[in-house]
Amino acid sequence: MASVEHTDSQGLSGEGGVRRRDFINIAAVSFAGVGAVAVVIPLVDQMNPSADVLASASTEVDLSAIQPGQAIKTTFRSQPLFVRHLTEKEIAEADKVDAGGLRDPQTLEERTVDGKKQWLITMGVCTHLGCVPLGAGEGENRGEFGGYFCPCHGSHYDTAARIRKGPAPKNLEVPKFSFTSDTAILVG
Amino acid sequence: MGFPWAEQYTPKHPAMRWIDEKLPLPRLVYNSIGAGYPVPRNLNYFWNFGVLAGLALVIQIVTGVIMAMHYGANSLVAFQTVEHTMRDVNAGWLMRYAHANGASFFFIVVYLHIFRGLFYGSYKAPREMVWLLGLVIFLLMMATAFMGYVLPWGQMSYWGAKVITGLFGAIPVVGEPIQTWLLGGFAPGNASLNRFFSLHFLLPFVIAAVVILHIWALHIPGSSNPTGVEVKGPQDTVPFHPYYTAKDGFGAGVFLIAFAILLFFAPNFLGHPDNYIEANPLSTPAHIVPEWYFWPFYAILRAFTVDFFFIPAKLLGVLAMFASILLLFFLPWLDTSPVRSGNYRPTFKKFFLILLIDVAILGYCGGAPAEEPYVMISQIASAYYFAHFLIILPLISRFERPLPLPGSITESVLNRYNIKGEQDALPGMGSDPQPSNAG
């Protein structure tokens, strides 16, 4: 674009042989380029989540009716949320494992609230490709490690919802939550 | 484009002459799909599938535009409007079944078209651009088919959308923002459905445009043929019309009969019953499978179950799946044999057959649940798929001793019918054993 013409008889040459025309060319095309990028930004950004999708309320869950060994499925930001009341045996099984040797090393303590180790709150979204794992419902397949089992591509999660076998790279995500009372939590 | 002996367009009717002077559209059609396009005289029925793919595209566009007249692209009503089309709209059931099965038939003919190209070396010089544009069409078809499958907003629609957009989530760092951007939310929802509808309507016309480029690129060197030997003179070709319009017409009839059998007697044979349940974000179907035409690629995706070299298994699977198609873009340069047709390549022919079986096995495993022994079989078959293109094919090209090629297309045709005497009488044949000028 900025070709330098040495035989410039028009007197357009400036410093270092750069013609005014070259400058105008580059300036005009650059300016148009900046304008084009500025137009593309809203065209791309409109596909991001809209305000009403982002304004997702937090979810409150009542734990009083969930017996040890039971779990419930509810929703948080339109995705499934698992709330599970672990039994003593399940807690012992999760603690028995050497967390350092896991694919996504985490202990049950790190995944639960202090002193409320029996309440395992996780997203019900397999970290592989986003299916809902089985195991929260009555009589569903809990996989080889007694936690959750994703039927789509065979990921097995243990009783702390940590990935133990199969293609998923991460443990089931623990969302931000807090206890509002002994028997209620606020997620989000 | 074309050969010097191609028939010239001479308008017979004054009206046609008037149009042709102002806009040479009649001339373009005549030279593209009329008597003005000389085609090798020895094409077999495998050469029908290009035209059949075009016919399938037309069926999809016509039935699709009609379905859009009765469809509501909103997650609250989408499922109901599709059922309304099925039950209440006059002939709506016919349009929807034709559209759904039409997609399957489109893929059937395109897969046959692709394997035709693979066997007869149609991707080799000077037709590389034809092959590359064909792959672009294939990728566009896959995107269109995927988005179309989401529109009825059934269980498979929803979970298919979730799994496939989840593929992008496997990309490190930018993956999750990309996935959210594609969906317009954290999970498939109304925003996703709307944009998929918009793009599903747009892409078929983009496909039609690339089809025009595909045909344009084809018509510069002209069609290949089962011998792989280039056209050497007028005796090697016949005009496209009426010879191949008639042959393609017969093929179209067979195609439409097969299509009608599935459409009227087993319209749900290739579908999945779960898609007649409305999308439910809280319940994953026990067995998520894509449509059959994605099974081989789905098997490759699922073949990776352990991490290698610190790359997570999920990302490896995604990379392998995309690589399995992108690999084909390099095929013209991976197969360096100057002989095009598999008929004259004895070693290639055997491995081509193994590749066919391998892809069929991948397809079977992709439709099966993610359990043993299917995982192990998918792993072996995936490894073989890549080995075929990256190792076996370049080696065959190097060490194979091809069979002698016929001197010309006409010679091969005459030999087939044991007509020996005529050969010498024909100009430019027999005496000079030119090699195939490929490569």
Q: Where are the domains of chain B?
A: 1-36, 41-277, 289-405
Q: Chain B residues with CB inside 8 Å of A153's CB? A: 302, 370
Contact B162 A129 (CB under 8 A): yes
pLDDT tens string for chain B (439 positions)?
478 899 999 999 999 999 999 999 999 999 999 999 999 999 999 999 999 999 999 999 999 999 999 999 999 999 999 999 999 999 999 999 999 999 999 999 999 999 999 999 999 999 999 999 999 999 999 999 999 999 999 999 999 998 888 888 888 888 888 988 999 988 899 999 999 999 999 999 999 999 999 999 999 999 999 999 999 999 999 999 999 999 999 999 999 999 999 999 999 999 999 999 999 988 888 788 899 999 999 999 888 877 677 777 778 888 999 999 999 999 999 999 999 999 999 999 999 999 999 999 999 999 988 778 898 999 999 999 999 999 999 999 999 999 999 999 999 999 888 776 554 445 444 444 444 444 3
Determine the residue of chain B that is closest to A164 in CA distance: B306
**What is the pLDDT at residue B429?**
45
Which pLDDT score, from 0 to 100, does residue A75 have?
85
CB-CB under 8 Å, B284 with A53: no
d(CA A110, CA B387): 44
| Active site positions of B, annotated | 219, 223, 247-248, 291
Q: Do A73 and B317 touch (CB under 8 A)?
A: no
pLDDT score at A129: 75
3-state secondary structure of A181: strand
Q: Which of B53-85 are b and which e, b meaning 16 or more Cβ less than 10 Å from the residue's Cβ?
A: bbbbbebbbebbebbeebbbbebeebbebbeeb
CB nearest A169 (choices: B189, B195, B313): B313
Cβ within 8 Å of A, B 257-296: 281-284, 286-288
CA angle B358, B361, B367 (to 5 degrees): 145
Interface residues of chain A, partner chain B, Cβ below 8 Å: 44, 47-50, 53, 73, 75, 77-80, 103, 124, 128-134, 150-154, 166-169
Query: What is the ipTM score, two decimals?
Result: 0.71
Say which CATH topology domain B41-277 has.
Answer: Cytochrome Bc1 Complex; Chain C (1.20.810)
- Which residue in B155, B284, B304 has the most chain A C-beta atoms within 10 A of its own C-beta, making it the best mutation to test that interface? B284
Say whether A130 and B191 touch across the interface (CB within 8 A).
Answer: no
* pLDDT (0 to 100) of residue B164: 87
CB B429 within 8 A of CB B410: yes
What is the pLDDT, as a whole number, of residue B325? 95
Note the pLDDT of residue A3.
53
Cβ distance of B184 and A79 shorter than 8 Å: no
CA diameter of chain B: 77
- Which residues of chain A fall short of a pLDDT of 70? 1-15, 56-57
Beta strands (DSSP E) in B331-421 are none
Cβ-based contacts of B298 with chain A (< 8 Å): none
Interchain contact, A151 vs B287, CB within 8 Å: yes
Residues of chain B with C-beta less than 8 angstroms from the C-beta of A130: 162-163, 165-166, 169, 187
In terms of Cβ atoms closer than 10 Å to its own Cβ (0-12, 13-18, 19+), residue A18 is middle
CATH architecture of the domain with residue range B289-405: Orthogonal Bundle (1.10)
Q: Is B181 on the interface with A (CB under 8 A)?
A: yes
- Contacts from B270-277 at CB under 8 Å and sequence distance 24+? B270/B100, B270/B101, B270/B104, B271/B100, B272/B156, B274/B154, B274/B155, B274/B156, B275/B152, B275/B154, B275/B155, B275/B156, B275/B157, B276/B154, B277/B154, B277/B155
Provide CB contacts within 8 A for B187, sequence distance 6+.
A77, A78, A79, A130, B162, B281
Please tell me which of the candidates A53, A131, A169 has its beta carbon nearest to residue B284: A131
Judge if B41-277 and B289-405 fold alike in CATH terms.
no
